[in-house]
Chains A and B, each alone.
Chain A
Amino acid sequence: MSETMRQRFRDEAMATHFEILFDHPDRERCGSLAALAFREVERLESLLSRFMQGSDIYRINNLQKGESIGISNECHECLLMAMELGVLTNGLFDIGAGCFMPLVRDDEGRSIQSGEEEWTFARRRREEGRFIIHEDRPEVSCEAEGLVLDLGGIGKGFALEVIDRLLSDFDDLNYLLSAGGSTLLARGFSSSWKVNLSGESEGFSIDLKNESLSSSSFETQGAHIIRLGYPSRESHRKRVWVKGPNAALCDGLSTAFLLMDRREIKEVISDLSFEISVWEEGVEGDINLLTVLRA
């Protein structure tokens, strides 16, 4: 694919930047798809952001005991995916940790310190809280208050999935979607995309076609964000890349894998109904293909 054919578009949403690369010379045609994509992300943000008043997640987080609400199909699908990720990773992937966020960040997003009492209280609330996600209809009920959902660990990957469906409904161009530079989705109707996996000292490139890649590192995530509210786990690696058929899955797993040992990762992979690839950058900076397994 020649570099000169590439068209690049960028927009800000979901507290990050979204980028789309097309390998097609017609800038107008590509720009039209990019506009469609960016409007879709804006719409998704209005459903999935826990900060936006009236969004599905905002309304879920404000449910009182015994109340139920209807939500959008998109939010419902994302919640069901998040639940599966929670099960796959034995609870390490956790969208219920939103109640700890105010203890580490203030309203303006600055880091703050909180006292042990506040943490204990938040942990108790979090453990008491319970939502029922209805499987057969887009509805959520609150059985006990206290839980605060945050889709930060999956929302961007999920958004790429939704954009991908829309764009491939409308056209058949090859494109590479990126959310924050850390989660990619490559649609290759005719060719694949070369992407780099760069660690601190080593790096190599792989071909991506009709699949996703997500990377997480302690640098960008910080273990405290991943296991918010609970004792931090020992870190086994600096960075993880996960390649697989779904961007939401890769997004969620790359974060959880940072904290899992190899045996645990293999267990997750054996529970999956399709193939994924996982690379890690070890603490020494060496990059290893951990495993490619079929369940």
Chain B
Amino acid sequence: MERESNVDGFFMNRRDFLKKSSVLGAAGLTLGTGVPKAKAAGPNDQIGVAVIGTGAQGTVLLNSLKNIPGLKFHALCDIWEYNLKKGMSALRGTGTRPNIYENFEEMLEKEKDVDAVIVATPDFWHAPHTVACLQAGKHVYCEKMMSNTLDGAKSMVKAARESGKLLQIGHQRRSNPRYRFVLDKFIKETPLAGRIVNVNGQWNRSLSKSQDITIRKASLLIPKEKLQQYGFQDMRQFLNWRWFKGLSGGPISDLGAHQIDVFNWFLDAVPTSVTASGGRDYFKDREHFDNVMSIFEYDTPEGTARAFYQVLTTTSAGGGYFERFMGTEGCIKISENPSFTKIYREPEVDMEKWKPILGKGLLRQDKATAPAAAAPSAGTIDVRESAPLAAYDIPVVLNKPAHQPHLENFFEAIRGDASLNCDGEHAYRDEFAIHHVNKSAEQNERVVLKPEDYEI
């Protein structure tokens, strides 16, 4: 390794490190300082990008964005310097130093070379940010939920229609190759679960992760006037916007949005009704319900399907998050976390239907549920506890951060090489149903959702 530097390492003097580092060579790790390889796109093919909101999710998206060739980062915008620094730091090593802004209007005015804006601000800011960007002629990738109000979500769809620019909503599962594979192969091509009659899904978070965030260090506090200028009453609201009615739709929209979107996508339908129950069961002073359970009815071409969804912020119940499509012949359990993903076959289903799929390697039998080597002899019945359902794994791997394929789809669509996997028009239909969950729970009654209500 050729490098002379006086900079200290983490634990040892740099010079000693370099002297001794031949040992590491033997261990297969080498320190490199070479020039980065040129990214695929030339300067003229580059897409100019800006990000509004560099908080938790904005930084996650930046970590994916920097892997996508052909992007040039012109600007980052956030009202909190602490997060702006984190956003800048996520772009370390990309060779770009974007301009930073507190105010998105100033950013839009100055940054003429921006083609696409990523919006990762709290939900109540999505509509103002997205509409302004679309009207300024930018394509927009906006995080879910589209908005905390239906009017806000509608205004985004209308602005996209009027501007002719693209609007992708951040339901990243729609671009996840495992989800797409399961939909194409096992729901559309060979409906392995048979007729899907029920669906259930959940997202459960432990109490320990659901507490309010507070800051005591004076240096990090944002002055009250500035907070109010941006729609937050105080630091508590700013840091915990998800619990406030004017700022977010609460846990059912924050966490449920992803999975209810998958229900609609996989069933290729939208709910005809929703019945929900929720409450401030633990966090008494929160504006939104901390636990919500909801039942949706669907009219699918094959008949009625009912879906149950729960979001709990008071227990993880060891269960995490997944969606489960339960049919007459099997069950498809899928999650962004592959370890929760499995396909089960009902015992009476003829193996012949599954054999070609297994033969082609489209599914792998779970070792733990593989059939025992010796079949019982004809005429005898073994008496023992019920055998587990035969379970199968899906051999599709996502070798990228979870949000990257969805962002890639957005940029491919901008280049004209793909169509959006989740445009505003589709996402609005989820949004409409999800908005009615809180309403149903608050009024304690079933809400009927007519097909024409989904139209804008």
Chain A positions near chain B (C-beta within 8 angstroms): 9-11, 28-29, 31-36, 38-39, 42-43, 52-55, 58-59, 62, 68-70, 72-73, 79-88, 90-91, 94-96, 107-108, 126-127, 129-139, 141, 143, 146-147, 169-172, 246, 248-249, 271-274
A147 pairs with B217, CB closer than 8 A: no
Given known A87-B24, A88-B12, contact A39–B93 (CB-CB < 8 A): no
Interface residues of B in 87-104 (CB under 8 A from A): 89-90, 92-94
Beta-carbon contact of A138 and B30 below 8 Å: no
Residue B190 is within 8 A (CB to CB) of chain A in the complex: no
Residues of chain B contacted by A139 (CB below 8 angstroms)? 36, 93
A131 B209 Cβ-Cβ under 8 A: no
- By size class, the interface of chain B is 35 or more
Report chain A residues within 8 Å CB of B12.
84, 87-88, 271-273
Asked whether any CB of chain A lies closer than 8 Å to the CB of B21, the reply is: yes
**A119 vs B206: C-alpha distance when bound (angstroms):** 41
**Of the residues B28, B30, B90, B210, contact of A127 by C-beta under 8 Å:** B28
Contacts of B338 in A (CB 8 A): 53
Of B31, B56, B402, the residue contacting A83 (CB under 8 A) is B31
Q: Which secondary structure dominates where chain A touches chain B? A: mixed
Contacting residue for B211 out of A32, A83, A127, CB 8 A: A32
B10 A249 Cβ-Cβ under 8 A:
yes
B398 at the interface (CB under 8 A from A): yes
Please report the C-alpha to C-alpha distance between residue A29 and residue B217 in the assembled complex, in whole angstroms: 13
Q: Which residues of B contact A (CB under 8 A)?
A: 3, 8-13, 16-17, 20-21, 23-24, 26-34, 36-37, 56, 63, 66-67, 82, 89-90, 92-94, 206, 208-217, 220, 337-338, 367-368, 397-402, 404
Kindly list chain A residues whose C-beta atoms are within 8 Å of the C-beta of B28: 96, 126-127, 129-131, 146-147
6 residue pairs, one from A and one from B, having the closest CB atoms: A137-B93, A132-B32, A35-B211, A171-B216, A31-B211, A147-B28
List residues of chain A with CB within 8 A of the CB of B3.
135
B86 to chain A, nearest CB (A): 9
A69 to B37, CA, bound (A): 10
A70–B216 touching, CB < 8 Å: no
Do A35 and B210 touch (CB < 8 A)?
yes
Contacts of B8 in A (CB 8 A): 273
Are the CB atoms of A81 and B11 closer together than 8 Å? yes
How far is A280 from B397 in the complex, measured between Cα atoms in Å?
44
Give Cα A139–Cα B94 distance, bound, in whole angstroms. Answer: 10
